[in-house]
A and B are shown apart, each in its own frame.
Chain A
Amino acid sequence: MLLPVFTLKLRHKISPRMVAIGRYDGTHPCLAAATQAGKVFIHNPHTRGQHFSTSRVFQSPLESDVSLLNINQAVSCLTAGVLNPELGYDALLVGTQTNLLAYDVYNNSDLFYREIADGANAIVLGTLGDISSPLAIIGGNCALQGFDQEGNDLFWTVTGDNVHSLALCDFDGDGKKELLVGSEDFDIRVFKEDEIVAEMTETEIITSLCPMYGSRFGYALSNGTVGVYDKTARYWRIKSKNHAICIHAFDLNSDGVNELITGWSNGKVDARSDRTGEVIFKDNFSSAVAGVVEGDYRMDGHIQLICCSVDGEIRGYLPGTAEMRGNLMDTSAEQDLIRELSQKKQNLLMELRNYEQNAKAESSGPLNETDGQRGIIPANTTLRTSLSVNLGNETQAAHAELCISTSNDTIIRAVLIFAEGIFVGESHVVHPSIHNLSSSIRIPITPPKDIPVDLHLKMFVGYRSSTQFHVFELTRQLPRFSMYALTSPDTASEPISYVNFTIAERPQRVAMWLKQNFLFPEDTNIQSAPFQVCFTSLRTGCHLFIKIKLSGEITLNTDDIDLAGDIIQSMASSFAIEELQVEADFPVYFEELRKVLIKVDEYHSVHQKLSADMADNSNLIRSLLVRAEDARLMRDMRTMKNRYMELYDLNKDLVNGYKIRCNNHTELLGNLKAVNQAIQRAGHLREGK
């Protein structure tokens, strides 16, 4: 059993995920963490009595070995590490929604302070690709920016949505680090400098990423999933009802391989094997875990795993020694094995008994009423499932439809669909009322995004009076473009926007791709090239034309630039195309983009004007305050009162002004996001460099 080697209880709260360890003076590791009220505290247990005495840093009134750094804004990300290799000690980096501060704790000075329009949601420090100096890379509103030690902007690129997590990892094994970006559109993207080399679609917002070793990395989602990827392939994942606050790679059992350490919202910390996801160690805090970091906090030459809870409890664990043989938990492995084996035996015995019973029931004659109650059904019952497009009616919007029917008079009591990303939770249930039970069920499905989804179906089959049901399990794949209905080409007007490209594939292969990725009515057959097909989107009603010429030239006509991008990416991956030149024109979209850019300019100018106003007002405040205080000293209470009244009014104005500024800022952010996304979308239309 692995026990903590030290436990501390700080009287400061710790904001989740805002914890970092750094040697700010070059030798002593100190813990820095964001706390309440826009402050960052630095816990320095090694050098007592050394106090900071400037405005930014002051000593905590609660504890002697904690100093506080005032940020005056909610901290949105925090890290520590070597930013300038010449300095020989670590810098503390603190990001907020508008700024990034690189701070030299030892000298109590700013290394740089940069305004960041896109906000800083996540930060990572290290070297990226061929860029020689260490970069502080921040991810914000669709944008990624990297700064060197002087605050120079050496790296900039955009990604699909708001960034929630970043990590540096040698993804392709070339000895240089790639940047992993987890964003709000559920994608993990891998950037080799500013080129996207891989993209993995997950099922929820990616909240944390961490490199394990080699090309392996761990990830956590906002729905309680944690797992490990090796390159683009997922090794394992588990889902809990709690949320993973932070993940960290650490070799806790001293086997030379890092384990994935997860800190959970219910206070649990567990270490899982990188290969199987099996728990090798766990411990519990009384409140949610805020951060997991590593460092030689006792300065005895051994690296400890350090876990912090939001209530300020800090525990350090030393990796297990060789005698423990990797057995970090309280139970003996043999006992567990025996328990598991005998559970298996019990299950097998039960299964055998079930078959015996079945054989007995078979000999008892034909099916009757009481059999139905006990859930006995004909043995040759089969279930048919089919997917189709339903164009909807007045009461119901158009949707994709899953139809399930049994082969005889048995009824379907309920259907459970487990699928990720297309329902509110992870499952969807259809449970008809007792009066509407029948042998077939139609289930409308409206996937919000164009992604292929595996539908894991569990169907409860029996009779009306049954209290036990057979469970039929089945997996169907919902094609990527299931929300598009085939329509006849003449009725629909052709969109003017288009993408044109040529691929070296036989048209039959393209037809196959179409069949795999769209829902066609059963009797359609696609004639040989050249041909064209037309689809209508069930979500927006827009049209999509796909024309294929004998030469392999394909034209997509659609006003939806996202859709065009998705189709090209899907074709490229299924035909294994590495480079594809395209010619595209989206006049409608570009017109909108132009408007957005104009708006961005407008908002910028408004922003500047408001800032100027604010500066004016602050001068006014100063003078009013001085005059009011003067009046007080002169005991001229009336004037003082008037001055304060004026000040009050001015304050109200300022508050109003601030509200306008806020609105302006959110609008601006929204538009900037649209611009960033436009760049990303345009990039999606092609493949390769």
Chain B
Amino acid sequence: MDLVLNRTDYLQVGVTSQKTMKLLPASKHKATQKVVIGDHDGVVMCFGMKKGEAVAVFKTLPGQKIARLQLGGVLNIPQERIFIAAGSEIRGFTKRGKQFLSFETNLTESIKAMHISGSDLFLSASYIYNHYCDCKDQHYYLCGDKINDVICLPMERLPRIVPILACQDRVLRVLQGSDVMYEIEVPGPPTVLALHNGNGGDSGEDLLFGTSDGKLGLIQITTSKPVHKWEIRNEKKRGGILCIDSFDIVGDGVKDLLVGRDDGMVEVYSFDNPNEPTVRFDQTLSESVTSLQGGCVGKDGYDEIVVSTYSGWITGLTTEPIHKESGPGEELKINQEMQNKISSLRSELEHLQYKVLQERENYQQCSQSSKAKSTVPSFSINDKFTLNKDDASYSLILEVQTAIDNVLIQSDVPIDLLDVDKNSAVVSFSSCDSEANDNFLLATYRCQANTTRLELKIRSIEGQYGILQAYVTPRIQPKTCQVCQYHIKPLSLHQRTHFIDHDRPMNTLTLTGQFSFAEVHSWVVFCLPEVPEKPPAEECVTFYFQNTFLDTQLESIYRKGEGVFKSDNISTISILKDVLSKEATKRKINLNITYEINEVSVKHTLKLIHPKLEYQLLLAKKVQLIDALKELQVHEGNMDFLTPEYRSILEEADHLQEEYKKQPAHLERLYGMITDLFIDKFKFKGTNVKSKVPLLLEILDSYDQNTLIAFFDAA
């Protein structure tokens, strides 16, 4: 059975954060539910649908930005109390909108995530986790990296309290009191946690997680160790996951998994087999889905998925069919409802337009006076700048609450902007003639009407670092633009990992000198992505990294006065050396840099590159042949006379071409890295081999692993 869901828009509020919309439990059996939502203006609104129109139950006054909204109450009865986290304060409302709680937590940072269970309150700010019981401080934990979400296994079903933190460094931390019980590594930075089936599954220990690179998984949190149940990789390259809910929308008695992503995708997974969720339905909305929940809001008797988006739209994906099979009179009634809605909106608009015109005149007038000031209207930009592991490129996602007019991209490092199929904006590259202006890339994206979200893909080169700036101009009056800055780090293609292979031949770079722990940490932050800005609490820290393109690794161990960096790739060490000495000179710190080069490592790296290079060369060769082979096929009618090799190329033609298209310039990048490796190897020896690079390229053109290794040895 195909699941068909129809979209109906209910209402628009202000910009919303992740997990800020909930459905209140239905008061009577099968009656429609009320929606409660909190936005960035600090307004909590509760409404229900009556005859296709949104009717507000209550609406609070504006205040601080609402980061989370949760329902709570006494355990084992319907959870009807509304809790919001705004700034460092927690407020509670009854379902009628009466405020019954205002709790100032005295946290120094504003609250990012919240979980409520009975009288237990679990909060987390950027790095701090706090557990309160009846508003009294119970436990506290300082985390090494940013906390994205917090949850606690159902207390009514388990005899213990098990809070779990989702941390940016790809780890779920399972706590016991104020201590970490154990850590679970997950395949991407986790952004959201949810209880399986809403109650933790059969054992009450099943936990769902979603990551910012779009992966989804289920883990059972037992008392001693985690049990990975299943994981869905993001094959279709969809957006990061922002919200998860369990609800039986298909109507087969098994709760389905509802997932909302930051590229506007809403998915329904159903469990035909308990350990194998399959996609039953997907639909794209044009902007980030911040929260979603299954329930019944629009019409009694029809289940739906209620979704809230970044710009504050509350939309239902309902099982109610659009074209109902009913008498002609009813059809007319529906249209009447619509017409009423439209005309009321129209009159509202007219009124507003008049008001705006007046204000505009005032604004014009005040521009005559010499003392007056002109402010810039503020608008919020939801941005995400992440490294994709699969093709070693960065994706930059910009989302604004209103339509974007244009975006100017400027960079002071050489980077490539790649085309993204999804975006429809017209890109235009401008010449960057004058070197004096530090521009290596100037490009404008002129967006089509109603574009609120823009996705860009950027390819960086390791060793070349600087800042990428995006000037975003939305279509609001008065016209304004906001700058977003992103650092392209020297080792931009590295990614944090938790395990490395210690048996590889390693090159070592050692720093010693009069520097503090904070200083050396800031250097590491400067050089490598995915390192928390805040220096860790420990005296000595170890971070492991992996090069997403070549799979070489980097180990960094540092403390006050000493830093040791180990990598099997000489180029990595060389880049670190250059950047660190430059940074130290800038701050006038006397730094002792010693390095130890392992000759074997070069050969090892070349061997790592070998399969990739060979694969790419073969792919390129095959793709070149496809057209000619196809022509033969047309001419001869069958392909029996071809060798099996050619026949297999023809059979896989589409797949090969797709693969080839997916990795543009992959070969060039590999060549570039081999060249860097060659130059760096001899740089450490003190010889300049730039003159031999053409020779190297010649060898690469007719690639053979042994010749290449011999060339590296001989030169």
A residues with CB within 8 A of B: 12-13, 35-37, 39, 60-62, 68, 224, 239-241, 266, 332, 334-335, 337-339, 341-355, 357-359, 361-362, 366-367, 371, 374-381, 413-414, 416, 418, 423-429, 431-434, 436, 458, 460, 462, 467-473
Top-9 shortest CB links A-B: A61-B637, A425-B428, A354-B377, A379-B372, A375-B376, A471-B479, A429-B430, A355-B359, A429-B442
Task: Report which of B379, B444, B479 forms a contact with A473, defined as CB distance below 8 A.
Answer: B479
Residue of A whose beta carbon sits closest to that of B450: A343
Chain A residues contacting B437 (CB-CB under 8 Å) are 431-433, 436
14 contacts across the A-B interface (CB closer than 8 A): A36-B627, A240-B448, A241-B419, A352-B355, A355-B356, A376-B376, A379-B369, A425-B430, A429-B410, A458-B406, A468-B481, A471-B479, A471-B480, A473-B479
Contact A61 B638 (CB under 8 A): yes
CA distance A432 to B434 in the complex (A): 9
Other A-B contacts than A341-B349, A343-B12, 18 sampled, CB-CB below 8 A, are A61-B635, A62-B634, A345-B349, A350-B402, A353-B377, A355-B359, A367-B373, A374-B375, A375-B376, A378-B374, A380-B368, A380-B370, A414-B408, A423-B428, A432-B437, A458-B406, A471-B473, A471-B480
- A640 shortest CB reach to chain B, Å: 26
Q: Which residues of B contact A413 (CB under 8 A)?
A: 471
Question: Are A469 and B481 closer than 8 Å at their CB atoms?
Answer: yes
Q: How many residues of chain B have a CB within 8 Å of chain A?
A: 83
Shortest C-beta distance, B483 to chain A (Å), equals: 5
Min C-beta distance of A456 to chain B, whole Å: 10
Instruction: Judge whether B444 and A427 touch: CB under 8 Å.
Output: yes
Cβ 8 A contact of A414, one of B356, B371, B410: B410
Write the chain B residue with the least CB distance to A360. Answer: B375
Residues of A within 8 A of B7 (CB): 335
Which residues of A sit under 8 angstroms from B31, Cβ to Cβ? none
Measured CB to CB, the nearest residue on chain A to B475 is A347
B634 touches A35 (CB 8 A): yes
> Contact at A37–B635, with CB atoms within 8 Å?
yes
How long is the Cα–Cα vector from A486 to B374 in the complex, in angstroms? 41
Q: How far is the CA of A473 from the CA of B481 in the complex (A)?
A: 12
Check: B180 CB closer than 8 A to any chain A CB.
no
Bound complex: CA A413 to CA B349 (Å): 35
Q: A458 to B438, alpha carbons, bound, how many Å?
A: 21
Q: Which of chain A's residues have a CB closer than 8 A to the CB of B349?
A: 341, 344-345, 348
Residue B476 at the chain A interface, CB threshold 8 Å: yes
**Beta-carbon contact of A375 and B359 below 8 Å:** no
Instruction: Report the minimal beta-carbon distance from A221 to chain B, rounded to whole angstroms.
Output: 12
The answer to whether B425 has its CB under 8 Å from any CB of chain A is: yes
The distance from the CB of A16 to the nearest CB of chain B, in whole angstroms, is 15
Q: How many Å from the CB of A430 to the closest CB on chain B?
A: 8
**B326-385 CB contacts (< 8 Å) to partner A:** 335, 338, 341-342, 345-346, 348-349, 352-353, 355-356, 359-360, 362-363, 366-379
- Contact check, A241 vs B370: say whether CB atoms are below 8 A apart: no
- Cβ of B338 to closest chain A Cβ, rounded Å: 4
Residue among A240, A348, A359, A424 with the highest chain B CB neighbour number at 10 A: A348
Q: Are B408 and A416 in contact (CB under 8 A)?
A: yes
Which B residues are in CB contact (< 8 Å) with A346?
Answer: 12, 311, 402
Residue numbers in B under 8 Å from A37 (CB-CB): 631, 634-635
**B322 interface residue per 8 A CB criterion:** yes
In the complex, what residues of B have CB within 8 A of residue A367's CB?
373
* Chain B residues near A35 (CB-CB < 8 A): 634
Does the CB pair B473–A334 fall under 8 Å?
no
Taking a contact as CB atoms under 8 Å apart, the answer to whether A426 and B446 are in contact is: yes
Tell me the residues in window 390-449 of chain B with beta carbons closer than 8 Å to chain A beta carbons: 402-403, 406, 408, 410, 412, 419, 421, 423-431, 436-439, 442-444, 446, 448
Once the chains bind, are B425 and A380 in contact (CB under 8 Å)?
Answer: no
Chain B, residue nearest A469 (CB): B481
Contact assessment for A470 and B374 in the assembled complex, using a CB-CB cutoff below 8 Å: yes
Residues of A within 8 A of B368 (CB): 380
Q: Tell me the nearest residue of chain A to B365, going by C-beta.
A: A379
Shortest distance between the CB of B431 and any CB in chain A (Å):
6
- In the complex, the answer to whether B473 meets A378 with C-beta atoms within 8 Å is no
A415 and B443 CA atoms in complex are apart in Å by: 12
Contacts of B371 in A (CB 8 A): 366
Task: Using A378-B374, A431-B442, A433-B437 as known contacts, say yes or no to A470 and B428 having CB atoms under 8 A apart.
Answer: no
Bound-state CA distance A172–B400 (Å) is: 48
Do A379 and B476 contact each other (CB < 8 Å), given the known contacts A345-B352, A427-B430, A467-B483?
A: no
Contacts of A380 in B (CB 8 A): 367-370, 372
- Do A36 and B630 touch across chains, with their CB atoms under 8 A apart? yes
The docked-state distance in angstroms from the alpha carbon of A346 to that of B450 is 13
Q: Shortest Cβ distance from B363 into chain A, in angstroms? A: 6
Q: How far is the CA of A426 from the CA of B356 in the complex (A)?
A: 33
Q: Which of A62, A241, A339, A462 contacts B637 (CB 8 A)?
A: A62
CB proximity of B378 to chain A, nearest CB, Å: 7
**CB of B386 within 8 A of chain A?**
no
Q: Could you say which residues of chain B place their CB within 8 Å of the CB of A12?
A: 634
Quote the shortest CB–CB distance from A19 to chain B (angstroms).
Answer: 17
* With known contacts A378-B370, A469-B481, A39–B342 Cβ distance under 8 A: no
- The minimal Cβ–Cβ distance linking B95 to chain A, given in whole angstroms, is 26
Interface flag for B482 (CB, 8 Å): yes
In the assembled complex, which residues on chain A have CB atoms less than 8 Å from the CB atom of B444?
A: 416, 418, 425-427, 429
Question: A428 touching B345 by the CB < 8 A rule?
Answer: no
With a cutoff of 8 Å between Cβ atoms, the chain A residues found around residue B423 in the complex are 241
Out of B346, B377, B419, name the residue touching A357 (CB < 8 Å).
B377
The answer to whether B376 touches A352, judged by C-beta atoms less than 8 angstroms apart, is no
Q: Are B431 and A470 touching (Cβ within 8 A)? A: no
The verdict on A426 contacting B631 (CB below 8 Å), with A348-B353, A355-B360, A358-B375 known, is no
Residues of B near A416 (CB, < 8 A) are 406, 408, 444
Residue pair A425, B345 in contact (C-beta under 8 Å): no
Question: Contact between B471 and A352 (Cβ–Cβ < 8 Å)?
Answer: no
**Across the two chains, which residue of chain A brings its CB closest to B362?**
A355
Pick the residue among B342, B372, B428, B637 that contacts A338 (CB under 8 A).
B342
B446 to chain A: which residues have CB within 8 Å? 418, 426-427
Q: Does A468 contact B378, Cβ atoms closer than 8 Å?
A: yes
Cα separation A351 to B402 with both chains bound (whole Å)? 11
Say how far A11's CB is from chain B's closest CB, in angstroms.
8
Asked if B482 contacts A352 (CB within 8 A), the reply is no
Q: Write out the residue numbers on chain A whose beta carbons fall within 8 Å of the beta carbon of B369.
A: 379-380
